[in-house]
A and B are shown apart, each in its own frame.
Chain A
Amino acid sequence: SQELEQSPQSLIVQEGKNLTINCTSSKTLYGLYWYKQKYGEGLIFLMMLQKGGEEKSHEKITAKLDEKKQQSSLHITASQPSHAGIYLCGADKPGGSEKLVFGKGTKLTVNP
């Protein structure tokens, strides 16, 4: 079965700093999804990457998919306290699948 490993597990940064979170798959990635979750709340969809080399940006968050490395990275520029939360990557199986597999998450703390 496919496994997703996220690194780092947790990250503490000073406001204004840039940061990167990685998600590495044990198998070929056909679709990679980034979600953000605040404690005790639901998951907020951030971005979907479906092609090797694809890069998407939303406000100060950029995500890339490196198909060859079976890896995706999430980069936050000039972090703000509002970026704090748990970032989860998710992936599905080739051909589409009802089952979304998640990484264990990266907890981000942004100190003012």
Chain B
Amino acid sequence: DTEVTQTPKHLVMGMTNKKSLKCEQHMGHRAMYWYKQKAKKPPELMFVYSYEKLSINESVPSRFSPECPNSSLLNLHLHALQPEDSALYLCASSQEAGTQPQHFGDGTRLSIL
């Protein structure tokens, strides 16, 4: 069982919809991450939060909006996505930003119609 919980596991949405992905960890980690993974590719970093503040944005389009309400929760708000945004979205956490290992959730499989 993973210690990082992501919901939902699957999400299908239209290009005009607004939805959110959620991630939760109770390991006391102070860094949380969002990754995007396309089929047969390695995960690519999107965002890093350190002590609930955004520390890295890897030039991600504004249609993806991260939010860290508290040290245990990380959200990814989605709006006006494109079909090419269909992918597996992975959340991870680590003790602090820059420390390893990162612990990953099982991901949300997102499909954009």
Contacts and interface: CB of A to CB of B under 8 A. Distances in A.
A44 interface: yes
Contacts of B104: 35, 42-45
B100 A33 contact: yes
Contacts of B107: 40-42
Contact of B100 (A31, A42, A103): A31
Nearest to B103: A45
A98 B101 contact: no
Interface residues of A, number: 22
Interface of A: 31, 33, 35, 40-45, 48, 88, 92, 95-100, 102-105
Given A43-B92, A48-B101, A99-B45, 8 more contacts: A43-B90, A44-B104, A98-B45, A98-B56, A99-B48, A100-B100, A102-B42, A104-B42
Interface of B: 2, 4, 6, 31, 33, 40-43, 45, 48, 50, 55-56, 88, 90, 92, 97-107, 109
